Amino acid sequence: MDSKSLKAELAKFDLTELSGERFIIDLMYAGTRNVAGFAAYEEIGLGNRAFVHQQVFECLMKIVPILKHHNLKMCIRDAYRPPRAHILLQKKVAMPGLFAANYQLSNHCHGTAVDIFLTDENGKMLAYPTETDAYTDDIAQALRKGNFQPLQDNLLKARHNYMYAPYEALANRSFLKELMENNGFLAIPHEWWHYNLQGFEKYPVLETDLF
């Protein structure tokens, strides 16, 4: 399917592709550097393309001038997650709670959630208490061997109430939270990188067969 046809089909699901000079698209599940060690999005044909619900897209567009003013960019680490990809990821990692038990419970599968961080103009990640998904190579290797403890320990640092990181990391986390919550998103307590669209409860799961 060519890009024009795909865009038209996705529009039927209120999905819009996210792009632009202020956005860096680097979906963690398009490659293998993630807690599952599995390129789920490549497997299903989505690849490194970020789609979001139209309402999410409109909220993110409000943020673009602010990013430009501060000489910042936003790196998109996850966006719409096709249910088929969610199921594949669940099968790869058996840690309870790491992925929603049912894809209908994942806001990513509704197109109403994004995992993000801010970068400088050159794409260098600003300091935060952890990487996205509290990832490290060592943690990912332990996880795939069934050792959940290292990730569980690092996830404590991912909470918004974790205050033992360097000042710069805490300040960047706070700035990101304020930026997103002032423009139509909600933070969740345990993942500093994850933001849901306000009023996400009213949006259905998007079960397109395009991926």
User: Domain of 39: which CATH number?
Assistant: 3.30.1380.10
Q: Compute CA 71 distance to the chain's CA centroid, rounded to the nearest angstrom.
A: 22
Domain membership flag for residue 211: no
Pick from 93, 77, 194, 96: nearest CA to 139:
93
pLDDT at 202: 93
Q: Give the pLDDT score at 2.
A: 64
| Two structure tokens written together for 187 | 């933070």
The rounded distance, in Å, linking the Cα atoms of 50 and 115 is 11
CA 41 – CA 85 distance, rounded (Å):
6
In this prediction the pTM is 0.95
Where do the H-state alpha helices sit in 54-183? Answer: 54-69, 83-92, 137-144, 149-155, 167-181
Q: What residues form DSSP beta bridges with 116?
A: 76
| Domain tally, the chain | 1
Q: Is 16 a domain residue?
A: yes
Q: Quote the domain boundaries for residue 90.
A: 3-202
Residue 207 in any domain: the answer is: no
The confidence score (pLDDT) of residue 116 equals: 98
Q: What angle do CA 164, 170, 171 make, to 5 degrees?
A: 150
Enumerate residue ranges in the chain where pLDDT < 70. 1-2
Q: Report pLDDT digits (tens) over 163-184.
A: 999 999 999 999 999 999 999 9
**Encoded tokens for 95:** 């840690």
pLDDT digits (tens, 9 = 90+) for 194-210: 999 999 989 999 988 78
Q: Which residues pair with 115 in a beta bridge?
A: 78, 194
For residue 1, the Cα-to-chain-centroid distance in whole angstroms is 26
Predicted local distance difference test score (pLDDT) of residue 97: 82
Is 210 inside a domain boundary?
Answer: no
